[in-house]
Amino acid sequence: MRILTLIFTLILTVNFYAQLNEEKAVAKVGNDKITQDVFLERYELTPQANAAMIGAEESLKSEVLYSIIAEKLWALEAERQGLSNSELMKTTYKTIEKMYVRDALYREEILDKVELTNDYLTEAFKRNSKILKLNYLFSTSEEEINNLYSLLKEGVSFDSLLSTRPESALQKKPYVVQYGQMDKNVEDSLYNLKIGNFTEPIKAPNGWYIFKLISTEEKVIENDEQAEAEQKNVLKIARATIIDSLYKEYYSKSFANVDAKTNGELFLDLSDKILKILEGKSKNEMDSSGQKIFLTSQELYKIGFELGSEKLKEQFVIIGEQPLTLDEFIQDLAFEKFSIDTVYPDLIRGKLNLFVKRFIEHELFAREGYKRGYQNLPEVRKDLDMWKSYYLSDALRTKVANEIQVSDEEIRNYIDENNKRETPTIEVKIVELLTNDLDVIKTVFEELDKGVDFKQLAKKFTIREEAKNNDGELGFFPVNQYGEIGRIAATLEIGQLYGPVQVPEGYSLFQLVDKKEEKKLTGIDFEKDQARIKNIIKSKKFSDEIIQKTVDLANKYGVSVNEELLKSIKVLNTTTIVYRNFGFGGRLLAVPMTIPNFLWVKEWQEQQKLNP
């Protein structure tokens, strides 16, 4: 089954739905309400694996709504239990809060000050119409480039100097520059040159340049379609150029003199562990096409575990009187998506050092935002409350999962019961991708839309060894095993994909590949199958606990649903992944991933009938 995945990007601004619908509550949970707008955001901006199935719309809307209700119920209970003070909320949620706060600062200090004047646009279109052809002198030494500039000013020929230098080999044809290609200050110098003239030495990240204008060429516009495209491109570049200038001006004015020191020993410890993981991955994942290798959140958290809690609490960056810990940097790095296309140690450490610099900048912007109280802005609170509910719910689910124990006696009883079973049961075979990193789920949906086979993706990404060693497949198992996975798999058609479903080990995305009826399981052995059976029992216990606890919480806090309103809501039947890009850097899913949790509803509704 082909899944249509549309990937949109929300850049800098919050997308609000029509104000008329804002107060319409499709459901109430305790004193909280789920508005029609919130439901639409969560439905349409969260991937639903079978959203493209004809006739699935009504059941999917119900499943999503009741899953959001369950999330709110678990969040309320987590808050009551004091989990808002957990490490998860202190680190991961705090990182997200900082992203929203500095984004609000960005809107105030940068976006709201962008002004495209007529004179500015006239100059932009003028530059866009002209193509520059240049030669250049280059040196990594400031002293050498200044000496070359002195010779030029004394009358030495630019061409004769260039002919004696190594960079001449790269300039058999003139170097071509078009509007928007260079930094604004460099571009100002180049476009103000007259033919035959040269610039002063210009500093670049890799060294120093002196440019000479050889000739210019008018850009040819062949038709209206090209003219329209050029106009859009000029406006885009002009806006981006102003934003870049405002950013540099604001940063220089506010933070240029801030002193920040990094713990070199911790940096080396972290970089060594990152290098080791990336070197191992490169042997399996990097191909001749130069495919990037990403450091996943899961791998970063593993590194944190190896470093130990004491080292994670150590001061990694000192800024003023508020030092930042190594744990805080790792959390930030998990959101930033560190990747490489080469495994050279010095280059990896150099790139990691750039991430440290960005981390420091992010912290400076966030601190300024907090100082101004931007964390309390209504538009910021709206999104943060949504993420807080998600993380509180996840914290409680994680606590429940960690408390589940499976004894040897339970494993033996399971084996005995299944070896003695005579009643026919449905067995299913699935291809499963298990991960504890939601970004992996996002990547998988993107790859599926490109036509990549799910089995190939499952084998590459799953963390369940049993499946990884068998091309992503789990062997036939009764539908009463593997908790929610088994229950849902029983309802699927062969070839149908479902998920993600939250399980004790993380998140599961799976596809039904076969189904059959069996009378008896034979050959299960305690010593041989102990670990596998333990996971099956634990998964079933977790699923049962999720269902029962959600029913109990629904009764405890109270739930009401406006079924008529739910039925009337029109939704987009596509699998959609939406990102929000934040001002001053950072990217995040536009809304939290809605984890399916709706199997509790039937039992709860039956109880409501008995106790109206």
| Global pTM value | 0.74
Please indicate, yes or no, if residue 451 is contained in any of the structural domains.
yes
What is each CA distance from 564 to 19, 24, 26, 568, in whole angstroms?
A: 20, 12, 9, 6
- Whether 137 is in a domain gets the answer yes
Contact 483, 543 (CB under 8 A): yes
Neighbours of 511 (CB within 10 A): 25
Query: Taking a C-beta distance cutoff of 8 angstroms, is the pair 141, 211 a contact?
Result: no
Q: What one-character DSSP code corresponds to residue 366?
A: H
Per-residue 3-state assignment (H helix, E strand, C coil) for 519-539? CCCCCCCHHHHHHHHHHHHHH
Q: Phi/psi zone of residue 437: left (φ > 0), alpha (ψ -120 to 50 degrees), beta?
A: beta
pLDDT at 398: 86
101 and 370 in contact (C-beta within 8 Å)? yes
Which residue, of 179, 198, 218, is where some domain finishes? 218
584 lies in some domain: no
How far CA 605 is from CA of 26, 554, 601, in Å, comes to 17, 10, 6
Count how many domains the chain has: 2
Sign for the pseudo-dihedral over CA of 381, 383, 389, 395: negative
- The pLDDT value recorded for residue 56 is 66
The answer to the question of residue 195 being in a domain is yes
In a domain, 59, yes or no: no
10 forms beta bridges with 580
CA distances from 595 to 33, 49, 94, 529 (A): 19, 12, 21, 30
Residue 424 pLDDT? 64
Is residue 16 within 8 Å of residue 36, measured between CB atoms?
A: no
- φ, ψ for residue 217 (rounded to 5)? -140, 135
Kindly report whether the peptide bond that precedes residue 424 is cis, defined as omega within 30 degrees of 0. Answer: no
Tell me whether residue 191 is exposed, middle or buried, using C-beta atoms within 10 angstroms of its C-beta: 0 to 12, 13 to 18, 19 or more: middle
Structure-token match 């500093």, residue found: 203
Whole-angstrom Cα distance, residue 273 to residue 370?
A: 33
pLDDT of residue 532: 74
Ranges of the chain whose pLDDT falls below 50? 1-22, 52, 285-290
Of 592, 595, 569, 589, nearest in space to 8 by CA = 589
Residue 176: which domain range? Answer: 130-218
Nearest residue to 88 via CA among 411, 303, 327: 327
Residues in the chain: 612
Instruction: Give the C-alpha separation, 527 to 64, whole Å.
Output: 41
Q: Is residue 318 part of a domain?
A: no
Q: List the beta bridge partners of residue 32.
A: 29
47, burial (CB in 10 Å: exposed 0-12, middle 13-18, buried 19+): buried
Does residue 562 sit within a domain?
Answer: no
E-strand stretches of 87-206:
130-139, 175-177, 202-204
| Domain end marker among 189, 218, 247 | 218
Q: What was the pLDDT predicted at 2?
A: 33
Of residues 475, 516, 512, the one with CA closest to residue 495: 512
Condensed to tens digits (0 to 9), the pLDDT of residues 330-353 reads 988 888 778 777 778 888 888 899
Residue 438 located in a structural domain: yes
- Of 199, 218, 237, the position where a domain reaches its end is 218
CA distance 386 to 39: 11
SS (H, E, C) 58-96: HHHHHHHHHHHHHHHHHHHHHHHCCHHHCHHHHHHHHHH
Angle at 587 between CA 95 and CA 287, to 5 degrees: 115
Alpha carbons 270 and 274: distance in angstroms, whole number: 6
Q: Do 331 and 95 form a contact (C-beta atoms < 8 A)? A: yes
Asked if residue 286 lies in contact with residue 293, where contact means CB atoms within 8 angstroms, the answer is: yes
Query: Which of these, 127, 119, 174, 27, lies nearest to 558 by C-alpha position?
Result: 27
